[in-house]
A and B are shown apart, each in its own frame.
Chain A
Amino acid sequence: MGSEVHQITEIASWLFLCYGSIICSGYLFSAVFSLIEIRDYKRKNNFVDETAMLQSLNLPAISILAPAYNEGLNIVENVRSLLTINYPSFEIVIINDGSKDDSLSKLIEEYELEKRDVLHHSFIPTKTIRGIYKSRNKAFKGLTLVDKENGGKADALNTGINICKNSIICCIDVDCILEHDAMLKLIKPFLNNEKKVIASGGVIRVANSCVIEDGRIIEVRLPKKFIARVQVLEYFRAFLMGRMAWSRVDGLLLISGAFGMFDKPTVIEAGGYNTNTVGEDMELLVRMRRMMREKNVPYSVGFVPDPLCWTEVPQSWKILHSQRNRWTRGTAETLWIHKKMLFNPKYKILGMLSTPFWFFFEWLAPIIEFLGVLFFLFLLIFNQIDLVIFSSFFLAVYSFAFLFSVTALFFEEYSFQQYTKPKYIFRLIVSALLEPLLYHPFIMWSAIMGNFDLIRGKKKWGVMTRAGLTNPVKKK
């Protein structure tokens, strides 16, 4: 018995060690690629101020699609903020996804909307549209409100795609706060490429505790709550390290659902958003890329490292759990739908690098980690724990996690330096020290529960209540 346990221990230790080493190497490569990409981007943009282009009437028109479900509390202000977007030509399509609150009546009243007979073609099948509204007031002529039966975010976006007029669409969360030149920066990859660009995405930042005025960020502040502050670090890692690196090697699989721009004909050809998954943003991009590859059409996906969009992150453990649970299910569903791509050389970098990475290090990582915890308990029960070895492994992992966060922080300082006060950096370093102990285990558990819910067949989004972005007073 003793020797069997010892053998199991030996094999499992080696497996965990190999997995850990591969993950570390992956992160190291992503750091190097990100650094190169950020440096290049800074060089490209340090001498020309392109905001003058916002005066140009030659920029293509954009359709901004914003689904809303029970957003009655802030919907009027959020739409007003969208209407002030700085771009020469755009329409806004708000899709009321069968809200049970007073969102619809508030919008109708505030923006003087009336039902119109608008003929449109349903490129993508959706739930029934109850009415399409336009404003009597010419000041809001770019605004369209679509009222439809509830069908989820993906279905709402598909409705917007069917209704909108322009061939470039921008899908955003209605409560997002955009930088003044966000649209210009996001559309640039579409226009400045010899290949066809099918989508582009930007960096999302955490807006909690920031000073906001008239729908614009006036002062960037670090969230007061630990749970939100750690998510700042997570966003640095995800956007400044992860996606930058994937963008460098043209292996990006995800453009955030909160803010992304797409080529409408390609979206329609791919079949629009998938209503059967909770990870509709990732699934759409993977499907579009897969389709282009299968058709053998040269194409590209753009990524802009500038902070373009600010969003509110969960400030309660319950909502965070629900969000991460959904993200895990979304990832797993997408990987399952596109399992054909995994290790398939036909899909080049997507098949040989991106999908395997997502499979092994995004979806599988929390499971392996959880198994590691179980393995530890197993060893404890059989009195097989060598406390020194265990401590050394624990410290190695902990120091790597801390190093990884500090690297992301370094990238932020090197690139955009949004958190200008020195005390913010200090707080972020402290958060990075605490994260592996206080925050990460919770995220791992949420992911495990996400997989469990997936097996149980849960298809719902889960509660995603936002506290609302308050307006701290700016100190004079």
Chain B
Amino acid sequence: MTPNLVLLFDGFSNFRDWAWILKINVIIILFFLFLTLCLVTFIIGIRLYKNFRNSKKQQQQNLLIDFLNSYLFDEDFEIQKEVENFKQNHLNTALEIKVTIKEILQFHKNLKGESAKALEELFLQLQLDVFILKDLDKNSWHHTARAIYALSELAIVVPVHKIEPYLNDQRDEVRQQSQLYFLKTATSNPLQFLEKTKRPLTTWQQIYIENALKNFYEGPTPDFARWLDHELVSVVEFSIRLISRYNQFENIPNLLPFLDHGKESVKIEAIRSLRKLGYEELLSLIIPGFEEQSVLIKKEILKSIEQLGASRDLQKIKPLITAQQWELKIKYANIERGFIQEESGQIAMAISLENKLEI
């Protein structure tokens, strides 16, 4: 054994005499080992905690399934007494309350009419709304978003000032939940919240709003033209799209000015909507300006001709597509093949040949 090794095994009694690099290394090793031990303990801890939590969750869920089924469908169930009993004995910890809220929301999602209403009443009887409102007032975005979600799912109305500020929150999750809250709790004018909206609507939010409008809102369909002059481009585009989705033919005149809008995406949305509404004069409005448009708009115009027009409309475009615009030429040829099916093979061959010669 070398003297150095002897030194190492001499123990830590003469640590002060060790080379500085050795001291640093030993400290580092001990530090890493300590961290590793901590992490392994955490891993075991998390495992045990999650197992414990899951078993508690399962217990509460089983209890709730029986309780909710009896509450909803058993005529002999003594509601007042049993609800009070459940509140006293099974809503004592945060976990029990959270699981109960989640389970009621899950039941609510699968039920409609009287049963859904009964669940909304039960939610209030169990005073779970108190817990939700506490969550709402917490200063963390995930608590707020979760609270608004529960309120909107169960259509629990709270004073407007409690939710309205969240329409323009920093976090998109909070914004989205507050939008859905106003929509799901509305009895009329479900998109009124758009007037207070100052931040752009993402496509994801738009899809959610449209779904909620179709599946949750039961009042009269709003006139979407109301938001065509909104300051946010995303809201304008959304309104244009909804006009065609809801077949609001009466709004066609309101859409026409958007064909000359300065923003490409708005123009495209207007062409798409008018096309979906089957507006026959659309082609006479968009074909003349074809040459000055961007490639994306040109593609929309070609698509409109495909759906609303005939071969003669397509012919008008032909001289306006330049020799280098292959993407448009191929789109044009594909539409032409659809119009003149008997010449489909010849058209395909001609354009392929032209393409090869060019290359």
Binding site for B on A (CB under 8 A): 13, 43-44, 46-48, 53, 56, 58-60, 117, 119-123, 188, 190-194, 386-389, 391-393, 395-396, 399-400, 402-403, 406-407, 409-410, 413-414, 417, 422, 425, 429
Contacts and interface: CB of A to CB of B under 8 A. Distances in A.
Contacts of A190: 203
B326 interface: yes
B330 A194 contact: no
B103 interface: no
A409 B7 CA distance: 36
Interface stretch (B40-48, B63-71, B158-166, B282-290): B40-48
B257 interface: no
Given A191-B202, A387-B5, A399-B32, A117 B348 contact: yes
A422 B47 contact: yes
Given A117-B345, A119-B351, A119-B352, A388 B22 contact: yes
Interface string B192-228: 0000000110111111101100000000000000000
A193 B29 contact: no
Contact of B33 (A58, A399, A425): A399
A428 to B, nearest CB: 10
Nearest to B101: A47
Contact of B330 (A44, A58, A120): A120
A388 B7 contact: yes
Contact of B5 (A388, A395, A403): A388
A395 B25 contact: yes
Contact of B207 (A53, A123, A400): A53
B146 A414 contact: no
A194 B146 CA distance: 22
Contacts of A391: 8
Contacts of B8: 388, 391
Contacts of A389: 4, 19, 21-22, 25
B252 interface: no
14 contacts: A53-B207, A119-B330, A120-B330, A122-B355, A190-B203, A192-B203, A387-B5, A403-B35, A403-B36, A403-B39, A406-B36, A407-B39, A409-B39, A429-B40
B46 A413 contact: yes
A245 to B, nearest CB: 17
B203 A413 contact: no
Given A391-B8, A396-B29, A188 B204 contact: yes
Nearest to B32: A399
Interface string B1-39: 010110110000000000101100110110011011001
Given A48-B149, A388-B4, A399-B32, A417 B50 contact: yes
Contact of A47 (B149, B200, B352): B149
Contacts of B47: 413, 422, 425
Interface of B: 2, 4-5, 7-8, 19, 21-22, 25-26, 28-29, 32-33, 35-36, 39-40, 42-43, 46-47, 50, 141-142, 145-146, 149-150, 172-173, 199-200, 202-208, 210-211, 326-327, 330, 333-334, 337, 344-345, 348, 351-352, 355
Contacts of B326: 121-122
B65 to A, nearest CB: 18
A76 B351 CA distance: 34
A409 B326 CA distance: 52
A192 B352 contact: no
Contacts of B348: 117, 119
A387 B39 contact: no
A414 B29 contact: no
Contact of A406 (B39, B203, B204, B344): B39
Contacts of B200: 194
Nearest to B176: A192
B327 A123 contact: yes
Contact of A396 (B32, B141, B146, B205): B32
Nearest to B328: A121
B173 A44 contact: yes
Closest 4 CB pairs of A and B: A192-B204, A392-B25, A43-B142, A399-B32
Contacts of A53: 207-208, 211
Given A119-B352, A392-B29, A191 B146 contact: no
Contact of A413 (B43, B208, B330, B333): B43
Contacts of A407: 39
Given A117-B344, A117-B345, A392-B25, A192 B172 contact: yes
A387 B2 contact: yes
A152 to B, nearest CB: 21
Contacts of A402: 32, 36
B145 A47 contact: yes
Contact of B327 (A43, A117, A121): A121
Contacts of B206: 58
Contacts of B19: 389
B205 A392 contact: no
A431 B208 CA distance: 45
A48 B334 CA distance: 43
B11 to A, nearest CB: 14
Given A191-B204, A422-B47, 6 more contacts: A193-B202, A389-B19, A395-B25, A399-B33, A403-B32, A403-B39
Interface centre among A188, A191, A388, by most B CB within 10 Å?
Answer: A388
Contacts of B352: 119
Contact of A191 (B46, B141, B207, B327): B207
Contacts of B208: 53
A58 B211 contact: yes
A386 B39 contact: no
A121 B32 contact: no
A410 B43 contact: yes
A417 B36 CA distance: 19
A192 B35 contact: no
Nearest to A58: B207
Contacts of A48: 149
Contacts of A43: 141-142
Contact of B202 (A59, A123, A192, A388): A192
Contacts of B334: 119
B207 A410 contact: no
A416 to B, nearest CB: 11
A391 to B, nearest CB: 7
A419 to B, nearest CB: 10
Contacts of A393: 25
Contacts of B4: 386-389
A337 B322 CA distance: 35
Contacts of B333: 119
B343 to A, nearest CB: 12
A396 B21 CA distance: 11
A387 B3 CA distance: 10
Contacts of A60: 203
A236 to B, nearest CB: 12
A13 B21 CA distance: 10
B202 A399 contact: no
Nearest to A60: B203
Given A392-B29, A396-B29, A192 B205 contact: yes
